[in-house]
Amino acid sequence: MTEQPIPAMLPLSPADIRGRRQWPLPKLADPNAPLLEVRDLKTHFRLGRAWVRAVDGVSFGLADGEALGIAGESACGKTTTALSMVQLLPGNGKIRGGSVELFGIDLVQKSERAMQRYRWREISMVFQGAMNALNPVIRVRDQIAEPIQYRLDQPEGAARQRAIDLLDMVGIPRKRADAYPHELSGGMRQRAMIAMALACDPAIVIGDEPTTALDVMVQAQILDLLERLRRDLGLSLILITHDLSVLAETCDRVLVMYAGRVAEEGPVRRIFTAPRHPYTRKLVGSFPNLHTDRRSLAVIQGQPPDLLTPPPGCRFAPRCDFAMPVCTEVVPPEVRFSDGVRVACHLFPTSDIATVGGSTLEGSTLGDMTQR
Ligand SMILES: Nc1ncnc2c1ncn2[C@@H]1O[C@H](COP(=O)(O)OP(=O)(O)OP(=O)(O)O)[C@@H](O)[C@H]1O
Ligand SMILES: [Mg+2]
């Protein structure tokens, strides 16, 4: 397979994208259901007699062909959210509530055996630090061919050919397809991992920090590749990264997580140009760009809370410059604005929604406040 031309008409409609599928929708799928709807997901880790509330009531959706970025400081639950979707949690991890609906099918209710119909075939994942996760004694081509052969029930020859085509598509020349992982550069190994994630032609690919360990040139190439695959294959992406500039370039929407919950979610431009949640404001303010002097960047003082015993109310309150008495007592309800942003913060009482609208922050409670 050589590089596919980028279609002239963009974006593709959901029907176009579903029409490109090589494999039929799962039997139980509702063709009119959204691609992915995660509702009130709660994934905790057992530690002795207690639970680490790593993901504690997270909801979001993903449409056909869309790219959603997940941002947030270390340990806020990004990887755990992703691993919950494919149900590859460590032994002490458990989904204790909520649902992950794919085409209207709740994957949380599925047994491990049933999950095999969906994992890799419908949702695949490039793991954090995956570059070193390839088996060192098996040729990359054969590592990619294996899931094609066994999960899609393809003959060995055809599976190998598809593996070589996939490697070619991600920029690894055909003649290098029989290399062992150590014979490839870091960037090439990362591409091989992406090829592996694409092996079964999934509807959704989750990339957990897929470019973090790479130099900026290779990083740019990998991001271009993901963008092209998205357009050519109608792929939907969930991209997890600390690097906000990567999200700004690649994603349609951004979900900002803090301490296992959603702080804010919305169209990428709104999140970066008019962040509403004080945490998002800090996060955006703490990120360098070419025009800022690194010494003048805002620092988010303090640490995220211990998720074994998270604080009541808003989990960001102990670090928030705008915290009010209510913030330490009551979990902030989620408020939706007409510009497609939702925020969980007491600075935006539900009664403000009509007045705040989609324009600027000026009309909001936060806009009127001076930082304490
Ligand atoms: N197996 C485990 N047992 C107990 N706690 C865990 C386990 N795995 C993760 N955690 C905890 O769950 C929380 C969320 O971790 P997670 O790896 O999802 O964070 P993250 O946002 O992906 O962080 P990073 O940006 O560093 O990758 C953290 O507090 C972490 O310590
Ligand atoms: Mg992580």
Nearest residue (CA) to ligand 1, atom 25: 74
Among candidate residues 62, 115, 50, 129, the one with its CA nearest the CA of residue 84: 115
- CA–centroid distance, residue 75 to ligand 1 (Å): 5
Q: Specify the residue with its C-alpha closest to ligand 1, atom 14.
A: 77
Span from the CA of 77 to the centroid of ligand 1 (angstroms): 6
Instruction: Quote the ligand 1 centre to 52 CA distance (angstroms).
Output: 9
Residues 95 and 109: their CA atoms lie apart, in Å, by 10
Nearest residue CA, atom 12 of ligand 1? 54
Residues with CB under 6 A from ligand 1: 45, 47, 52, 54, 72, 74-80, 90, 92-93, 128, 307
Q: Measure 94 CA to ligand 1 centroid, in angstroms.
A: 13
What pLDDT, on the 0 to 100 scale, is given for residue 274? 94
Candidates 80, 128, 239: which one to mutate for ligand 1, based on the most atoms within 8 Å of Cβ? 80
Cα 21 to Cα 15, 27, 66, 122, 159, distances in angstroms: 10, 14, 16, 10, 18
Compute the distance between CA of residue 74 and CA of residue 90 in angstroms, rounded to an integer: 18
Kindly state the tokens that stand for 119.
Answer: 């994992």
Q: What is the pLDDT of residue 295?
A: 59
Which ligand 1 atom sits closest to the C-alpha of 73?
25
32-59+80-226 placed in CATH 3.40.50.300: yes
What is the model's pLDDT at position 298? Answer: 62
pLDDT score, position 216: 81
Calculate how far, in angstroms, residue 213's C-alpha sits from the geometric centre of ligand 1.
19
Q: What is the pLDDT of residue 13?
A: 67
pTM: 0.88
DSSP symbols for 3-69: PPPPPSS-SPPHHHHHHT-SSPPPTT--TTS-SEEEEEEEEEEEETTEEEEEEEEEEEEE-TT-EEE
Q: Point out the ligand 1 atom lying closest to the alpha carbon of residue 306.
A: 29
Query: ∠166-170-174 over CA atoms, to 5°?
Result: 60
Ligand 1 atom 31, closest CA: 75
Whole-number pLDDT of residue 367? 38
Structure confidence at residue 364 (pLDDT): 41
* Centre of ligand 2 from the C-alpha of residue 73, in Å: 9
Tell me how many degrees the CA angle 67-68-70 measures, rounded to the nearest 5. 145
In this prediction, residue 371 carries a pLDDT of 36
Q: Who surrounds ion ligand 2 at CB < 5 A?
A: 79, 128
Say how many Å lie between the CA of residue 127 and the centre of ligand 2: 9
C-alpha atoms less than 13 angstroms from C-alpha of 169 in its C-beta half-sphere: 25
Do residues 221 and 140 lie in contact, with contact meaning Cβ atoms separated by under 8 Å?
no
Q: Which ligand is nearest to the CA of 242?
A: 1
Dihedral angle at the C-alpha atoms of 330, 241, 194, 110, nearest 10 degrees? -10
pLDDT profile of the chain (372 residues), mean per 10 = 44 65 85 95 96 98 94 95 96 98 97 92 86 86 92 91 90 92 89 89 92 78 83 89 88 97 97 95 80 62 91 96 96 95 92 43 38 34
If residue 95 lies in a helix (H) or strand (E), which one and from where to where? strand 93-102
Distance 32 CA to ligand 1 centre (A): 35
Identify the residue whose C-alpha is closest to ligand 1 atom 27: 74
- For ligand 1, atom 1, the nearest C-alpha belongs to 90
Residue 178: the pLDDT is 94
Domain boundaries, the chain: 32-59+80-226
Q: What angle do CA 184, 189, 193 make, to 5 degrees?
A: 150
Which ligand places an atom closest to the C-alpha of 259?
1
